[in-house]
Amino acid sequence: MPRTDVVLADPRLRDAAGRLGRPAVKAAVSAAQQLVREGSLSPESVADAAVSALPGTAGGLRPVLNATGVVLHTNLGRAPLSDAAREAIAAAAGNTDVEMDLVTGRRAKRGRTALAALRGSVPDAGDVHVVNNGAAALVLAATALAAGREIIVSRGEMVEIGDGFRLPDLLESTGARLREVGTTNRTSIQDYEKAINPASGFILKVHPSNFSITGFTSGATIKELSGLDIPLISDIGSGLLKPDPLLPGEPDAATTLRDGADLVIASGDKLLGGPQAGLILGDATLVERLRRHPLARALRVDKLTLAALQATIDGPPTPVRQALHLDAALLRDRTESVRACLAEKGVPVTLTESVAVVGGGGAPDVRLPSWSLSLPEAYAVSLRQGATPVVGRVERGRLLLDLRCVPATSDEDLIAAVLAVA
């Protein structure tokens, strides 16, 4: 058994100790030594095994190539940030002027430039506020405006938002009471009118972004509801700030505010393509009321999120937008090029038409024509566990790798990963 100090002297492990910390490296060495004791590793391979077991960064999260064809894959972190947003995070990682005016040397409004960028992107909003996710934005609104009072909401919009979290449970946890109106498939403006009473806090309109109901259905519109004498909050979910012709069924913040909503709530890490955040836009008086509520402090975002959010709004098209609007013909040519390279090396791969989806609980009816590499299903596990993890999807006994969400600059990494498995 090689001594621990001798193994730790390996240049690769010395370098890793500087990046990851000595305890993590020593633990990897100890684990490799244990494999020697168990007879599953040769003594001369301890250093190599320890190096292979170490993560790429101290953060523990491994970069993954998303070849699933799901643009916003929740299990893979939803929106991948743009280069501009990543650079902004790196710049904000040290000391910053997040709450200081460098001209006067006095305290300034937190994240003022990011908030100004969000306000500028949706001029119909009187003011804006940012919290740590969409659910937090809804909780803040319910707590500040309806604790001990009623929230009027359609039965057809009592959704489950993922991982078992249900809208009714979330809202009732704030001390508000839910006043359900209408039926699962039909709710009229009259249903809302009848429900309004002195105990009403606000009307909540929820976009059912992760499912669709067709057939004999109807619902009151934002324009109709805006005529009632009660605050109207619209949770549009996906974070689309302006209309997108590709996604006609997805509401956007600008249109929703123009139609009469007092507040709009949206997510930052979905169709906006930015960091996880809850966006609150609308009536300046209501936004200020939420901002001043004690709960707002517990839900505020850090400087890294503010920096990434501003870079997402002001910067170039995000990876999410590029993936959604990628031309299928160009994607086919690129996928064929990768297929030819792999086939030349003897990999049993074919080119096949496929369908990509938006994901992230948004646009459930939208199908994106796409192209994929088709490989034996047995490749799936090994590709997920490789040095550069590649995650695809299995359909009818074949592993499909859709390059729509894989940056073109990562094609060589994907090729190397497949060749390593082959």
Tokens of 86: 């990543």
Strand 263-267 and strand 232-237: the pairing is parallel
- Residue 183's pLDDT is what? 85
- Residue 323's pLDDT is what? 96
Q: How far apart are CA 288 and CA 355, in angstroms?
A: 44
Return the SS3 of 265: strand
- Residue 210's pLDDT is what? 57
Tokens of 257: 């505010």
Weakly modelled stretches of the chain, pLDDT under 70 = 161-164, 209-216
The pTM of the full predicted model, rounded to 2 decimals, is 0.89
Q: How far apart are CA 148 and CA 199, in angstroms?
A: 8
- Residue 97's pLDDT is what? 94
What DSSP line would sit under 177-220, residue for residue? EEEEES-SSB--HHHHHHH--TTEEEEEEE--TT----SS-B--
The secondary element (H helix, E strand) that includes residue 357 is: strand 350-359
Can you say how many angstroms the Cα of residue 1 is from the centroid of all Cα atoms in its chain? 46
- Residue 213's pLDDT is what? 67
> CA torsion 266→269→274→276, rounded to 10°?
90
Q: How far apart are CA 368 and CA 325, in angstroms?
A: 9
Would you say 81 and 275 are in contact if contact means Cβ atoms under 8 Å apart?
yes
Tokens of 397: 């006994």
| Residue whose entry in the numeric block shows the structure tokens 């009816």 | 365
Would you say 66 and 406 are in contact if contact means Cβ atoms under 8 Å apart?
yes
Q: What contacts 24+ positions apart, CB below 8 Å, involve 284-292?
A: 284/126, 284/127, 285/126, 286/145, 286/231, 286/262, 287/126, 287/127, 287/128, 287/129, 287/263, 288/127, 289/144, 289/145, 290/129, 290/140, 290/141, 290/144, 290/145, 291/129
- Residue 208's pLDDT is what? 78
Tokens of 75: 């299990």
Q: Which among 24, 86, 92 has a CA at the least distance from the CA of 56?
A: 24
- Residue 165's pLDDT is what? 76
Report the residue count for the chain.
422
Phi, psi of 330 (to 5 degrees): -65, -40
Q: How far apart are CA 194 and CA 309, in angstroms?
A: 41
Non-local CB neighbours of 130 within 8 Å, separated by 6+ positions: 111, 114, 115, 118, 268, 277, 278, 279, 280, 300, 301, 305, 306, 309
Q: How far apart are CA 383 and CA 352, in angstroms?
A: 19
